[in-house]
Amino acid sequence: MTVATVAFAGVGTKGIGLANPANSGDVFSAIGPTLFGSGPIGAILMTLLGFSILTSASASTQTTILPTARTTLSMAVYKAIPEKFARIHPRFLTPTWSTIGMGLVSAAFYLVFTAISVTLLTALIGSIGLMIAFYYGLTGFACVWYYRRTLFTSFRHAIMRGLFPLVGGLMLLAVFIYGVISFSAPDWLTDANGKNVTIFGIGAEAVVGIGGILIGVVLMVVWRIIRPDYFQGRTLPRQSDDIILEPVAVGDELPFGTAASRIPATVIAPDFSNLPEGQTPVNADTLEAVEEPTDLPPADPDLPRKGSE
């Protein structure tokens, strides 16, 4: 779509050119009349174009809820955050508290930042890049550390468990540092009147991004003091199997939720706190029913116990 748009409209600063400031808010509506013509068919196609833009915007709005909902669901299953966020709807098998909660948080952020300044909302959106670089970079470094004892047992392990995650982490670390330095410049973000958007004299995007990370650190410390089980490896041991909902066969297709079907299963907390009524939890590896709730996931008998290496 990007290549086709550039090929058709070009990057000029006049007319339908993509560098024309008048088109920056909605390039598709700008090039639509030239592309489709002004006849009846063109009018119909312009209507469909507008509808496709609206559905795309709707999907983008949902992405503020869905990824965070599944993240909080996963964290709550292992008690990294309050267990209520792991609750599953008995019919739709979707997270309830996580979806509604993240939707309300997203709406609150949007309303508050918009009420203060639309430009500040732009700073909030831009600062998300810092957060993404931060936690994805940490994931790369965590991968190397977790597999540190097996990195050089094979060439494949050295590449997949060591080199690639390390390079990815270093790249994102560089992006994070570069982003903080760039976003901190007082003149990085300006409003419609050309005035610098700053907080305490520092670029707003850097303050919002770093501030969001620090708020997360504070909440993590508070939760660790209140409920330390997750941080002490009690609710998520390194060597254990997940508990999931019993797979449901669909015709002759592979059972829903199994690894072979490549369809993610619904993970159930070991204490069954998010188990929908009438559903059966099973071991993700053996698919055997798990009868009694526990504080810990079932141990994987095929994995060596801690200290046996």
Residues near 187 by beta carbon (within 8 Å), at least 6 away in sequence: 196, 203
pLDDT at 252 over 60: no
Q: Are 73 and 261 in contact (CB under 8 A)?
A: no
Tens of pLDDT, residues 223-233: 999 999 889 88
Which two tokens mark 304?
Answer: 């060596």
pTM of the model: 0.70
Tens of pLDDT, residues 121-164: 888 888 889 999 999 999 999 999 989 988 899 999 999 999 99
Which two tokens mark 73?
Answer: 């669901």
DSSP codes of every residue in 186-198:
TTSSB-TTS-B-E
Which two tokens mark 173?
Answer: 């670390």
Tens of pLDDT, residues 162-189: 999 999 999 999 999 999 999 999 988 8
pLDDT band at 264 (very low <50, low <70, confident <90, very high): low
DSSP helix/strand/coil, 88? strand
pLDDT band at 191 (very low <50, low <70, confident <90, very high): confident
Q: What's the whole-number mean pLDDT along residues 15-19?
A: 89
For 172, list phi and psi in degrees, rounded to 5: -70, -30
- What are all long-range contacts of 66-73, with beta carbons under 8 Å and residues at least 24 apart? 66/99, 68/98, 68/102, 68/105, 68/106, 69/95, 69/98, 69/99, 69/101, 69/102, 69/103, 70/95, 70/98, 72/98, 72/101, 72/102, 73/98, 73/267, 73/274
pLDDT band at 117 (very low <50, low <70, confident <90, very high): confident
Q: What's the whole-number mean pLDDT along residues 247-263?
A: 50
DSSP helix/strand/coil, 241? coil
The predicted structure's pLDDT at residue 136: 94
